[in-house]
Structure 1
Amino acid sequence: SDVILVYCYPKTIITRIPECPYGWEVNQLALGGVCYNGIHDSGYYQFIIPDLSPKNKSYCGTQSEFKNPVYHFYNSIVSNDSSIIVKSQPVNYSFSCTYNANYLVNQAAFDQRYVFWECSSPCFQHRISLIQKLCYILRVATVHVKNGSSGSFESQLSLNFYSNAKFSSIKEAPFIVETSEIGSDIFAGVEAKGLSDRFKVVLNNCWATPSSEYFYQIHWPLITKGCATDNSILVHENGKTSRATFQFNAFRFRNIPKLSKVWLHCETHVCDSEKFSCPV
């Protein structure tokens, strides 16, 4: 009777206790002392907090607090008998769920490739002599998606590309950026799906590297402390909704190997808008 199972999902908390703890029936147990919403399920009594941000701000007495960098949600299942005498030992099953607020989201962005062609006609104004006369075409090419982060919300976060500044259509990966398109706009964003409405996505820092290592010495900062690092970068939304979006110009790193990738990295904060002013 002293066992409690707690499942902490990104938006929902499910708690299960063995049936008939100390003789109590499910209709005598209350979530937060106020909600008699338990159900009998396969030898357990199950109680559900369906949304961490209900309209009345607290579902059945659920309390929350933020101890940087972790969110804590608390509640309990207690016995409540309105009869004159109590024949069973009172019970109080307290439980909590913790959620990390900060994540590092990584994405492999561009393949950088040099493609050589035999020159029957000029393809650039200059030519390169190797064993035979050749000219080269540079492509900033295929975009691959690889999301990564840490903590309880990690499966809900993704870094996506979009077709335009409306951010209404996700651009399928991979896609190719031709040489003539260097300097054109690339639209990107970090989105959290399936979280409670109270949580907003904030981009603290975003940068690009020619390596999957986020701390690689060669890097180009895009967003620093929530702000664009230069006039070629535009932050559209940050901390207002479950998605933060920005755009930057297509580029390439100089003096790279014949084939390499450019990686994007974003330090992302999931902000509780019920407790903090989230927009940066």
Structure 2
Amino acid sequence: MSLSRCLLFEDGFPARALHLNDPACTGTVRDGRVEFHFNNDDQQCGTVLRANNTHFIYENSIQGTTDSAEGLIISRQRQLNLQFVCEYPIKQNASMDMAIHTLTSVIHQKLPAAQGTYQVQMTPYKDAGFTQQFSGNVTGQAEQTLYIAVDLEGVDSRQLSSVLDSCWATPGNDSASSITWDLITHQCPNPEDGTVKVLRNGVSTSSRFSFRMFTFAGASSQVYLHCSLHLCPLEGNSCVPNCDHAVHQHRDRRSADYQDNITVGFGPLLPDKNTDVLDVLAPLPKRRSPHL
């Protein structure tokens, strides 16, 4: 944030009299302007983070006081207080419309006003410890457990977490397909699929879940995975879903509840015709029972 040094001087405010919310964060004079530098990491300068239903908001102000009658019994004190905010949307939509032959699917999402970017990626693992990432094609027998990580990069993990709202499978790369199988609904495992486990959700910018592989009965042999998630400010919010007594009422995933969420995915998973092995060839971006 910068101000004209000339205009400040004309109004009786020398550069040395101004600072941000933190009095230690003073301005630097450069090219006729007074510049104030701050960030949300190691130089916060009193910046306050708050959130509403649509945005998380960083607030700060440039302030200072001068007195032209200093030392006398009268005062001609003048005060300056310029408040400003930086807003980021809580929810974003993103989807991939084709399969790619790489291990992970990364979506580059540019936020409105071009002031910030972050990435979402979905990665399959072989083990429950999430240490053995697949290399190349992912192979496994039907009924084998597949472990999925959904990670965010480029957001402040100390103040924000990610919450998986829903995850589902389709026989094609259309996330809105009429043929689907739910894995996670309303942030909790689908009670009709006893193989799904939500291992981490809402505690950090990394979410984890697992399920046993399957194919769709009477449909395409391909299986694509999709997840919808949103960001949640950690301070003052309960971001961790309570699934102990969850009642899952299946609703149309394309309703307004999900329109503003981030959607990522990967696939397809292809069964080998001879060995009945499933191959995940590439990451990507109502309910019918699958053949397990």
Which residue in the other structure is 2:36 paired with? 47
Deviation at 1:246, TM superposition (A): 0.7
Deviation at 1:245, TM superposition (A): 0.7
Which residue in the other structure is 2:259 paired with? none
Cα displacement string for residues 147-173 of structure 1 (whole angstroms, at most 9, x for unaligned residues): 36674665233222234221245445x
Picking from 74, 82, 85, the partner of 1:93 is 82
1:225 matched to 2:183? The reply is: no
Q: How far apart are the structure 1 equivalents of 2:143 and 2:32?
A: 62
Cα displacement string for residues 198-232 of structure 1 (whole angstroms, at most 9, x for unaligned residues): 21121111112234433221222111111111221
Which residue in the other structure is 2:138 paired with? 176
**Preserved contact between residue 162 and residue 207 of structure 2 (Cα < 8 Å):** yes
Q: How far apart are the structure 1 equivalents of 2:57 and 2:125?
A: 34
**Preserved contact between residue 106 and residue 266 of structure 1 (Cα < 8 Å):** no
Name structure 2 gaps, 5 residues minimum.
242-292
Which residue in the other structure is 1:77 paired with? 62
1:29 matched to 2:18? The reply is: yes
Give the number of aligned pairs.
228
1:241 matched to 2:204? The reply is: yes
Which residue in the other structure is 1:279 paired with? 240
Q: How far apart are the structure 2 equivalents of 1:266 and 1:46?
A: 43
Q: CA RMSD in A?
A: 3.6
- Corresponding residue SS for 1:214: coil
Letter matched to residue 55 of structure 2: V
Structural mapping, 1:152-167, within 5 Å: 155-167=118-130
TM-score (normalizing by structure 2):
0.63
TM-score (normalizing by structure 1):
0.66
Letter matched to residue 47 of structure 1: F
- Corresponding residue SS for 2:155: coil
More displaced 10-residue stretch of structure 1: 233-242 or 210-219: 210-219
Letter matched to residue 62 of structure 2: I
- Corresponding residue SS for 2:129: coil
Q: How far apart are the structure 2 equivalents of 1:42 and 1:211?
A: 58
Name structure 1 gaps, 5 residues minimum.
1-14, 112-140
